[in-house]
């Protein structure tokens, strides 16, 4: 490969995305000397020697992996680092979740990480700056993943929870322990429904509260139901629920768009409340960033074809990109 190409490469793939000039690994699951962490979900973190992330992500990362060296990058505050200008923007996915804008004199790259455009009760709403190169997380890159309006899903959730409580049973909502668990808690408590949280969710909620997110009236679940209170647990919680008596299980996940989800998760109801952009939001994100070229991660390859059909220069990014420069 000619040297001039090497000099202009913005990123390369080394079993994951790396910003070439800065030697900065992005969302790696294996330990790196220098890494950017878009958010603190388990599939985006490792015990890095040095991590760049928002202050909220740093708090959640350190809660999960213990005290570690980090460079706090508050939203919209440019940082000159490793020959690049780096700026984080809210990603709307969970507390602290960030997109990363990397710029040099010639070009700019926006890495979305996990994101959603719509509103959230516990995460700052996504902001997408323009970039020449867009690396987009496209989990729901299929046309059948068009989510119903959030208001409609929330009304369904509140109605189900109220019906269950009025019926003398316990509503048990299954939600990821970081992000969705706190989001559902905030939504329910704002409706006047107090929440008992599984201890793992409760522990993460303490970090949210320390970061200034008020989750309303909630307590740690000790295994006993309290009349009038909803229970929020992580997915696949079994034993803890035995002493609860009659209960109704409700999963909240974008995957609920697939009617089989309810059976797969062994719940009574599955509601499509998502922390990821749906199919239409992915296209909207692309329109807002107006990039020259798009690289898609974590999604179906068919999404790349749909972008190409719409006239974009789109390419998949993943295993097959190993060793290449971009």
Pick the closer one to Zn ion by CB: 10 or 99. Answer: 99
Least Å from the CB of residue 261 to Zn ion: 18
Q: Which stretch binds Zn ion (CB under 5 A): 24-32, 63-71, 113-121, 137-145?
A: 113-121
Q: Which stretch binds Zn ion (CB under 5 A): 106-114, 228-236, 248-256, 295-303?
A: 106-114
Q: Which stretch binds Zn ion (CB under 5 A): 38-46, 80-88, 103-111, 230-238?
A: 38-46
The H helix count followed by the E strand count for the chain is 8, 19
Pick the closer one to Zn ion by CB: 34 or 41. Answer: 41
Q: Which stretch binds Zn ion (CB under 5 A): 35-43, 167-175, 193-201, 227-235?
A: 35-43
Least Å from the CB of residue 114 to Zn ion: 4
Pick the closer one to Zn ion by CB: 171 or 179. Answer: 179
Give the up-direction half-sphere exposure of residue 316: CA atoms within 13 A in the CB hemisphere.
Answer: 16
Pick the closer one to Zn ion by CB: 20 or 57. Answer: 57
As beta bridge partners, residue 85 has 80, 103
Pick the closer one to Zn ion by CB: 41 or 269. Answer: 41
H runs (alpha helix) in the chain: 3-8, 55-65, 150-166, 180-190, 199-210, 261-264, 279-289, 301-309
> Any idea of the CA torsion for 290, 294, 298, 303, to the nearest 10 degrees?
90
DSSP state of 215: -
Is 41 a binding residue for Zn ion by CB under 5 A? The answer is yes
Q: Is 60 exposed, middle or buried (0-12, 13-18, 19+ CB in 10 A)?
A: buried
Least Å from the CB of residue 93 to Zn ion: 6
Least Å from the CB of residue 179 to Zn ion: 7
Size of the site for Zn ion (CB under 5 A): 2
Check: CB of residue 87 under 8 Å from CB of residue 66: no
Q: Find the binding residues for Zn ion in span 291-320 (CB under 5 A).
A: none
> Any idea of the CA torsion for 122, 128, 129, 131, to the nearest 10 degrees?
140
Q: Report the run of H or E that residue 293 belongs to, with start and end.
A: strand 293-297
Is 103 a binding residue for Zn ion by CB under 5 A? The answer is no
Is 114 a binding residue for Zn ion by CB under 5 A? The answer is yes
Neighbouring CB atoms inside 10 A of 143's CB total: 12
- Whose CA is closest to 65, among 84, 99, 37, 87? 37
Q: How far is CA 130 from CA 89, 231, 297, in A?
A: 12, 42, 19
Pick the closer one to Zn ion by CB: 51 or 230. Answer: 51
220-259 footprint of Zn ion as x/- string (CB under 5 A): ----------------------------------------
Pick the closer one to Zn ion by CB: 103 or 275. Answer: 275
Site residues (vs Zn ion, CB under 5 A)? 41, 114
């Amino acid at each position: 490969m000619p040297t001039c190409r090497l000099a202009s490469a913005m990123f390369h793939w080394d079993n994951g995305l790396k910003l070439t000039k800065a030697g900065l690994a992005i969302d790696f699951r294996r330990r790196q000397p220098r890494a950017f962490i878009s958010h603190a979900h388990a599939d985006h973190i490792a015990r890095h020697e040095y991590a760049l992330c928002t202050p909220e992500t740093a708090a959640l990362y350190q809660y999960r992996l213990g005290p570690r060296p980090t460079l706090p990058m508050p939203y919209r505050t440019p940082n000159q680092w490793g020959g690049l200008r780096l700026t984080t923007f809210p990603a709307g996915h969970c507390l602290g979740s960030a997109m990363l804008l990397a710029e040099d004199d010639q070009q700019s790259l926006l890495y979305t990480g996990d994101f959603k455009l719509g509103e959230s009760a516990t995460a700052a709403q996504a902001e997408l700056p323009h970039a020449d190169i867009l690396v987009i997380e496209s989990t729901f890159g299929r046309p059948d993943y068009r989510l119903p309006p959030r208001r409609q899903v929330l009304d369904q959730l509140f109605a189900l929870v109220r019906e269950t409580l009025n019926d003398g049973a316990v509503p048990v909502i299954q939600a990821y322990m970081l992000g969705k668990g706190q989001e559902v808690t905030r939504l329910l408590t704002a409706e006047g429904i107090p929440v008992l949280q599984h201890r793992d969710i409760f522990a993460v909620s303490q970090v949210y509260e320390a970061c200034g997110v008020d989750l309303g009236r909630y307590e740690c679940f000790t295994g006993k139901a309290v009349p009038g209170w909803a229970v929020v647990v992580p997915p696949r919680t079994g034993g803890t629920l035995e002493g609860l008596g009659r209960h109704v299980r409700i999963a909240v996940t974008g995957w609920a768009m697939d009617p089989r989800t309810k059976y797969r998760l062994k719940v009574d109801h599955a509601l499509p409340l998502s922390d990821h952009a749906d199919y239409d939001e992915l296209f909207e994100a692309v329109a807002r960033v107006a990039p020259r070229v798009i690289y898609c991660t974590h999604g179906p390859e068919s999404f790349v074809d749909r972008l190409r059909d719409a006239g974009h220069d789109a390419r998949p990014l993943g295993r097959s990109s190993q060793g290449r420069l971009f």
